[in-house]
Chain A
């Protein structure tokens, strides 16, 4: 059973992973990915992600089910932040636990590629010029296409 959550108040990736690891003792390997707000001088000051309650979490739950159908996992965590964030803040944490490492690597990669380009989030960034809505990168769609081959 996957653990799928969104949060507006942020999360501590270390605590989350410690809990996830402890809950999946039968896993021989756990792969995790943490996405955080990039810190660059003179670049983004803040980032806002908006969600739509009728679709964002339900869509992530469907993604978790797809991932679990594709790889034999012991556990799966999809945790996503929304709201206003600042450089260094965690945005997303994905963790996949499996008996064997290859399944864990691939499942985490698959879930992340889908979260990046197919999940129901709308993003805007604040720079010195003000707020600006962000569209998906072409590369996000290329990443996703790898799984359709």
Chain B
């Protein structure tokens, strides 16, 4: 698991500052997003506030 502090702001702005190859992986069809531990459906309108934690979740394998 990779953790990375980022500046607050819209998801698009956050992704724009990452390595493009990483950003493309993160936007993969099978990657789900969770904001502060809750799954979110639409990534498009995510705006990160101070202290928010956004997780990019690859397919789980289960326990």
Contacts and interface: CB of A to CB of B under 8 A. Distances in A.
B61 to A, nearest CB: 4
A54 B60 contact: no
A54 B62 contact: no
Q: Secondary structure at chain A's binding surface: helix, strand, loop or mixed? A: mixed
Nearest to A49: B63
Q: Secondary structure at chain B's binding surface: helix, strand, loop or mixed? A: loop
A122 B60 contact: yes
Measured as residues with beta carbon below 8 angstroms from the partner, the interface class of chain B is: 10 to 19
A79 to B, nearest CB: 11
Nearest to A116: B62
- Listed residue (B37, B53, B58, B63) with the most chain A CB atoms within 10 angstroms of its CB: B63
Interface string A40-70: 0000000001101011001000000000000
Given A52-B55, A54-B36, A55-B34, A121 B63 contact: yes
Contacts of A50: 1
5 contacts: A54-B55, A91-B63, A116-B63, A123-B61, A135-B61
